Amino acid sequence: MQIRRLILSNFRGVKSGQIKFDGHTILIGGNSVGKSTVCEALDLLLGPDRLSRSNAINEHDFYRRTYLDEGGEPVKITLEVVLTDLSPELDKKYRAHREYWDTEKQTLLDEEDEPEDTEHDHVIPALRIAFEGQYDKEEDEFTAQTYFASPPSEEGESRVRVSPPSKREFGFIYLRALRTGARALSLERGSLLDIILRLKDEDRSAMWEQTLGQLESLDPPIDQIPQLKDILQDIDKRARRFISLTADGQAFRLFPSSLTREDLRKSITLFGTSERSSTPVPYWRLGSGVVNALVFSLLTFIAQLKKNVIFAMEEPEIAIPPHTQRRIVKFLRDRMQQAILTTHSPFVLEQFNPEEVVILGRDQNAKLEGREVEIAGIKAKTYRGNLRRILAEAMLGTGVVCVEGVSDAEVLTAASNVLEDDGTDSYTPLDLSGVTILQCEGDSSLLRYGKFFRDLGKKTYAFYDKQANSEIVDEIGELFDEAWQLQQTGIEYLLADEVTIAVLRKFLKQASKWDDYPSNSTRPELYEYESDLNDAAVRDLVKRVLRARKGSGYAGRLVELCKSDDLPTVIVEALEKISEALPDSLAPPNDVEEDDNDVFS
């Protein structure tokens, strides 16, 4: 079974919204854009135990916390999800609620469509589940229910509710960020341990009765501890002055819990033993990485026991090293019928194809939309190749600087570090601005990648060599937010022409001793450095050295020797312009003295 579409109305920060899914899906977007809201909406619709909890919704689940309109009437939260890829058993069982989904148009067939329309290969059976939540004025409480949206109920007719057993057949599992594992590793309803228990043993009544009986008959009982026993006996004597109590022994006892199933679910804690200690401790004392790995192992167990799983997870990267992030995502893609993830990690995002990426955005009217990534102009092979992680990082950031080659990228990176080290308060380095430098390898690629990221809503910048074709210059100027054209045909010539002569001499003095310093057996004078060379000769020698070692780090190492006053003007201008457009939001104002203890207060 798979989720195809989600519609939201008046839910949390979303006034209205619609998200479409096509198989495995990764949701990306800025903080507070609505990623968690989407997951929570799916859990309200499909979570087997969500509505059985007390206070399934409350005031804060309503858009702008408005659960009564101006006339005092209840405002409704409405959610709707379309499910497809039903097993033959489920399709037969729920045929009374069957609708049809057009996979090409990504929409449900209308009631007016002809019956033969359902015979097309791209039209498949579907179920539509709806959620409704509102405030009950008479009972002074919030109500929530899920029901089959088809067939539509006539006025006065009750709607067919979707029961928890039905939702378990749908196979939806929702796991919030793996920060603590509190829900995942408890025995509360809907936890991973509870799901495994249900799959392994349909009749759990004997287990609970046996456990409760053992707690009740602890030997010795808790209330026989001398200090507690004395206090209870004193309470017993004093209470008998005012009320009639049992004549058969002690009236007041102490037990380790309320001796109910629900109390046990909340109080039972998973203990574990780490590699370096033989003493069992509660799972949350084992460390975030161990807890997250434990949660992952439970997922493998569920995948083995249950064939049909729609799995939603927030930020699988929390406290997880990159290689484990990749393992988790690969496992989910291979073993879950559908995986829906949110992420801020390029190591997670890079494992999804462009058509599986949904970029969430919310406009001024609180309308939530999900846009698919369009890679028109970029070859799929290129997207899935060496650039994949860089592209993923840029998609998660705020902006991108498109450059033509490796040397350009290393120079801008090094120059950004120089400006940062010089201590200019107003300057934000590229990495803190969320800007990625992308090597485009040529003019045409520069334009393609610029369009790609502009269409994603990112800030786009170009830093490129001198162009003979004025039309390309005009295209770049129209496409990018800001663009800087060099007056030279390569970044190496710019450095040789404009970096201060003292720095160039220092660079040549050091570089001439490096093992990979260029040489020419027939004309050794081409790369020889002598301290008495005049300024013009020094600049010419720097050009030859940088060109000979293009892309090997020489240009970046030259820039690292600079102070901000030593750098070419165009580089400083470009970096400061980007910093001005995308400042560090965590930095203190210029007129406020920074206190290390209050940076995040």
Calpha distance 166→163 (Å, rounded): 5
Residue 405 is which amino acid? G
pLDDT of residue 367: 94
pTM score of the predicted model: 0.78
Q: What confidence tens digit (pLDDT) does each residue in 248-266 have?
A: 888 888 888 888 888 888 8
Crossing angle for the helix pair 192-200 and 288-305, nearest 10 degrees? 30
Q: Who wins on pLDDT, 426 or 1?
A: 1
Tell me: pLDDT of 302 over 70.
yes
Token pair of 287 as six digits: 């460390």
Q: Encoding tokens for residue 371?
A: 């846009």
Q: What was the pLDDT predicted at 601?
A: 34
Peptide bond into 220 cis (omega under 30): yes
Residue 480 DSSP SS3: coil
What is the per-residue pLDDT across 570-580, written as a single tens digit (0 to 9) for each? 999 999 999 99
- For residues 337-360, average pLDDT: 90
* Pairing between β-strand 14-20 and β-strand 338-342 as defined by DSSP bridges: unpaired
Alpha carbons 324 and 347: distance in angstroms, whole number: 10
- Across 51-55, 152-156, 427-431, the highest mean pLDDT is recorded for 427-431
Cβ-Cβ contacts under 8 Å for 178 (sequence gap 6 or more)? 184, 288, 291, 292, 295, 313, 315, 316, 318, 319, 320
Whole-number Å distance between alpha carbons of 176 and 101:
29
For residues 79 and 60, what is the distance between their CA atoms, to the nearest angstrom? Answer: 16
What count of other Cβ atoms lies within 10 Å of the Cβ of residue 465? 18
* CB proximity list for 354: less than 8 A, separation 6 or greater: 372, 373, 374, 375, 380, 383
pLDDT single digits (tens) 514-559? 999 999 888 888 899 999 999 999 999 999 999 999 989 999 999 9
Q: CA Rg, the chain, in Å?
A: 32
- Both ends of the chain: CA-CA distance in Å? 46
